[in-house]
């Protein structure tokens, strides 16, 4: 069993994954920001679940927008257990609206949370993984950089940035025997608070200029839900896939795994993109960076 740290575990996929992993016997640190304030109720629910189930499940303060917070969280877990085996970069936020109406500060903020946040956590944990020449970096990404739907522009950008960060970090992590997995959920309208908690653009004047498209934005969630086939895997299905993948032996974990109730065909794009990238990296003379090295 592994010691696992997961970010953004207050709600949604992170919350379900933390519970599922702990139920499978892992030691899990479900991290979230503002444990004593805005997320106090979520933290209390998680602790109550741990007591009732007897799972080795703990709540941990971690704000992915702070390097100090990421460092402190990783240090706390490592000191308590003598190490850390898995980090799941899951924290994220959703923006809905017209791209032009999001200010540069809006877009920068979302990239900071959804992409740079993962980098901060990686910087905190990679020294531990490198010393051990082992560990798993898992990212809860999205199919959205491939499907690229309208009215979610900054979110698409931030998730694409996170995905690229995961891919490029993997080259160097592979050299130290550190595995990388990118989990790609498709559209999910149930089991998360993404849509209800989504932020809107700051520039209301520009938003007003797009009023003719408001009816399209208003049906965005309904349109997404209409694409989904039943029975739904949803957020719970993503959590189950995370548990399954982490149980696989070294060298057998997939670099990408897709859980998509919309069946958008993202797997085909992934296959072509991987072969193109792998061929290019081999031509550069770095084939050994394409897979984690065995100790």
Q: Which active-site residues does the annotation give?
A: 155
Give the angle 146-149-152 at the CA atoms, nearest 5°.
110
Residue 156 CA to residue 143 CA, distance in Å, equals 9
Token duo for residue 193: 């608070």
Q: Comparing C-alpha atoms, which of 51, 7, 3 is closest to residue 30?
A: 7
Q: Output the CA torsion 230→273→114→49 (10° steps).
A: 40
Residue 121 CA to residue 62 CA, distance in Å, equals 9
């Amino acid at each position: 069993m592994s010691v696992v740290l997961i970010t953004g575990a207050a709600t949604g996929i992170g919350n379900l994954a933390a519970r599922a992993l702990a139920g499978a016997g892992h030691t899990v640190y479900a991290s979230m920001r503002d444990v004593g304030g805005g997320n106090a109720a979520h933290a209390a629910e998680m602790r109550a679940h741990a007591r009732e189930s007897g799972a080795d499940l703990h709540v941990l303060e971690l704000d992915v927008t702070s390097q100090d917070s990421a460092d402190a969280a990783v240090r706390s877990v490592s000191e308590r257990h003598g190490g850390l085996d898995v980090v799941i970069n899951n924290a994220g936020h959703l923006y809905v609206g017209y791209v032009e109406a999001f200010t540069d500060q809006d877009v920068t903020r979302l990239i900071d949370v959804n992409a740079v946040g993962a980098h901060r956590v990686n910087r905190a944990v990679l020294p531990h993984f490198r010393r051990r020449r082992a560990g798993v970096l898992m990212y809860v990404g999205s199919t959205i950089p491939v499907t690229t739907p309208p009215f979610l522009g900054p979110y698409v950008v931030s998730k694409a940035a996170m995905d690229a960060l995961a891919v490029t970090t993997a080259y160097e992590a592979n050299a130290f025997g550190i595995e990388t997995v990118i989990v790609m959920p498709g559209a999910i309208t149930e089991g998360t608070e993404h849509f209800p908690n989504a932020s809107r653009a700051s520039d209301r004047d520009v938003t007003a200029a797009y009023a003719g498209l408001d009816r399209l934005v208003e049906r965005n969630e309904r349109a997404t839900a209409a694409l989904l086939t039943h029975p739904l895997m949803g957020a719970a299905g993503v959590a189950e896939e995370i548990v399954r993948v982490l149980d696989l032996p070294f060298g057998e974990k997939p670099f990408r795994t897709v859980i998509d109730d919309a069946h958008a065909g993202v797997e085909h794009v992934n296959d072509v993109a991987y072969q193109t990238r792998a061929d290019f990296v081999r031509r550069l003379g770095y084939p050994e960076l394409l897979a984690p090295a065995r100790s």
